[in-house]
Structure 1
Amino acid sequence: MFRSIFMHTDALSDILKWLRLKAEVYLHTDFQGCWAVDTSGSRSVPFHLVHSGRSWLHLQDEAPRLLSAGDLVIFPHDAQHYLSSESHCPNAELVDQTMAQLGAPAQGEVTGLTCGHFMFENKADWPLLDSLPAVIVLELSDTSRLGNTRALLQLLIAELEEQGAGASLAVDYLAHVLFIHILRSQLEKGLPSGLLKALFSPQVGKALTLIHADIAKPWTLASLASAVGMSRAVFAAEFKSLTGKTAIAYLSEWRMLTAAELLQTTDLTLFDISERCGYQSEAAFRKAFKHVTGKTPGEVRRAAD
């Protein structure tokens, strides 16, 4: 018997598309002897995979942590950090020396590192990562869990090592998938609240998917609650508890963020944009846009020129 699976849009995919998630692996090498790297301060989300050997992780005001082969470390808020061969915290001079001598022969234990970062091209504030900790360490050497993530990283490493045709693009796309696996891993561990937890909540997540699938629909609190099989009061309370805002406020903000994107990247008329975003008149749209963004549609469009 054949099974058919039809892909449907979901809120997380929509948000990542809108934020224009980019991923890049920029270093895949072996370090030997006394070394240190610091990739913080890039205003992105750095990550490092220890694919062989071991490394010490140094964070401000925390004890050093030993990373082993198979450990993946991610910094959702670009926390200041060092990875080093040394258990004591290195300095900037050692970092500069390491990069200047990259690839030169050395003595001592070998550590293989793969380094990269995730970034959002769309710099608009959206609280997707707010609930994540300063540092995430996934111990992929544990074969009892995270099997798909481990297989994904093995494929990524193979692409880096073999350098076949199209490898550069393949690695960046695999890194995209890795980012989603990282988000899923944090949901499995449990997050207290936040947009990320809401996206994976069975009912609130479904409501978010409905909003993102059709922002032009005249959604109300009652219609959203009914669509996900909850009473209006319970749905309203759970939505605000998870996201920190009401369902209608979320809908309005997402409509205006979508509108701002269309103003900046298309030549659509204001009437067309207002219709796409669920408004029947330009006047109502202008008022709502100014209320949510603090700017007029014209100001946003002119700033993009």
Structure 2
Amino acid sequence: MDVLSDLLRRARAGDALVRRLVQRPPWALTFADATALTVVATLGGHAVVRLDEADAAPVALAAGDIALITAVGEYTIADNASTPAQVVIRQGRKYHADSGDPVEREGWNLAPRTYGDGLPGATVMLRGAYELHGDVGGRILAMLPPVAVVPAGPRTGGALDLLAAEVGRDEPGQDAVLHRLLDLVLVLALRAWCARPGSDPPSWYGALADPAVGEALRLMHGDPARRWTIASLAAEVGMSRAAFAARFTGLVGEPPLTYLTGWRMTLAADLLRDTDATVAAVGREVGYEDAFAFSVAFKRARGVSPSSWRRGTG
């Protein structure tokens, strides 16, 4: 499994929530408890994204654009940078921004997973909210700024058309279809963002394009507990030990075994928090037969012992 696919698989805490919003200007929706990663796409019309930060400039979205929002906390999607919030969405419920009263369902629900006024001239948006999990999720979030805008393009446009066609339906297996289509939109948007001039993706992402280094990364993610050495990795990718080590370090920014140790500690951190497995069992899961050696490596990487990390005191 390639690195990005592995991160997305391990990071997801649950299925994403997919909704369509249909609003005629002026409109503004505030999301008070945003998830770690939100995908917002403008299907028709235009919109802006406003972060709950004093120095954050509004980000404009044209038809077909996709915004990946990683800001923790509150943000607003609106027709204009100056439109005050009309509805606040908190814990999945909608409230009038001025009064705080709940929004009546009648007149708001237009179709399955579709909300708004549905009047002529409305902007149509898709929104998918991901709950990302733990230290692995943090690696995905680190790829992106608070708001990353991917301009409309043929590849993302085709995926958005499919998602838009399905979101209002209510047929057997609909949730599975929507989740997979949203994943497709997310991956295509991540690819497009990382390929843009001026973007700053992590070094490992660029290294995936190298046949040898990309394969080595795939091998380490596919079997992190294996007793990998530089020699064994080099043999797997058909290079000499010295040439492989130099190429990997040059492209990824750190030596192969340093990268492997960091990935193992990321996995271990989530296992310690999410499972009742003993410290020794977690160590074995990430490639350490000796519990003491694992504890030393973990403390070196995280600054606290595995037990302290599990207790949340790290």
Q: How many residues align?
A: 289
Amino acid at match of 1:67: A
Aligned match for 2:20, one of 11, 24, 28: 28
- In structure 2, runs of 5+ residues without a counterpart are 89-96, 109-115
Partner-residue secondary structure (3-state), 1:91: coil
Following TM superposition, by how much is the alpha carbon of 1:238 offset from its aligned partner in structure 2, in angstroms?
A: 4.3
Partner-residue secondary structure (3-state), 1:154: helix
Instruction: Please tell me whether residue 198 in structure 1 is matched to residue 220 in structure 2.
Output: no
Instruction: Please tell me whether residue 49 in structure 1 is matched to residue 41 in structure 2.
Output: yes
2:130 corresponds in structure 1 to 118
CA distance 1:131–1:56, shift in 2 (3 Å) = closer
2:259 corresponds in structure 1 to 250
- Structure 1 runs of 4+ with >6 Å offset: none
Range moving further from structure 2, 176-185 or 294-303: 294-303
Verify the 8 A CA contact 2:20 2:126 in the aligned structure 1: yes
Partner-residue secondary structure (3-state), 1:278: coil
Following TM superposition, by how much is the alpha carbon of 1:264 offset from its aligned partner in structure 2, in angstroms?
A: 4.2
Partner-residue secondary structure (3-state), 1:127: helix
CA distance 1:35–1:294, shift in 2 (3 Å) = same
Instruction: Please tell me whether residue 282 in structure 1 is matched to residue 295 in structure 2.
Output: no
2:82 corresponds in structure 1 to 89
Deviations 1:169-216 (A, max 9, x none): 432332223222222223443655513333444332211111112222
Amino acid at match of 1:89: S
1:152 corresponds in structure 2 to 159
Following TM superposition, by how much is the alpha carbon of 1:165 offset from its aligned partner in structure 2, in angstroms?
A: 2.9
Verify the 8 A CA contact 1:52 1:112 in the aligned structure 2: yes
Partner-residue secondary structure (3-state), 2:47: strand
Amino acid at match of 2:220: I
CA distance 1:199–1:39, shift in 2 (3 Å) = farther
CA distance 1:54–1:261, shift in 2 (3 Å) = closer
Q: How does 1:220-235 map to 2 (within 5 A)?
A: 220-235=229-244
Following TM superposition, by how much is the alpha carbon of 1:48 offset from its aligned partner in structure 2, in angstroms?
A: 1.6
CA distance 1:270–1:131, shift in 2 (3 Å) = closer
Instruction: Please tell me whether residue 215 in structure 1 is matched to residue 215 in structure 2.
Output: no
Aligned match for 1:71, one of 37, 54, 65: 65
Aligned match for 1:135, one of 147, 160, 164: 147
Following TM superposition, by how much is the alpha carbon of 1:270 offset from its aligned partner in structure 2, in angstroms?
A: 4.5
Matches of 1:291 and 1:125, distance apart in 2:
21
Amino acid at match of 1:219: W
Following TM superposition, by how much is the alpha carbon of 1:35 offset from its aligned partner in structure 2, in angstroms?
A: 0.9
1:13 corresponds in structure 2 to 5
Verify the 8 A CA contact 1:193 1:243 in the aligned structure 2: no
Range moving further from structure 2, 160-169 or 106-115: 106-115
Following TM superposition, by how much is the alpha carbon of 1:133 offset from its aligned partner in structure 2, in angstroms?
A: 4.2
Deviations 1:254-289 (A, max 9, x none): 223333444444454544443333223222222222
What TM-score do the two structures reach when normalised by structure 1?
0.75
Matches of 2:59 and 2:274, distance apart in 1:
46
Matches of 1:286 and 1:57, distance apart in 2:
44
Verify the 8 A CA contact 1:40 1:46 in the aligned structure 2: no
Aligned match for 2:196, one of 189, 202, 217: 189
Amino acid at match of 2:289: Q
Verify the 8 A CA contact 1:236 1:246 in the aligned structure 2: yes
Following TM superposition, by how much is the alpha carbon of 1:231 offset from its aligned partner in structure 2, in angstroms?
A: 4.8
- In structure 1, runs of 5+ residues without a counterpart are 1-8
What TM-score do the two structures reach when normalised by structure 2?
0.73
Matches of 1:58 and 1:130, distance apart in 2:
20
Amino acid at match of 2:170: Q
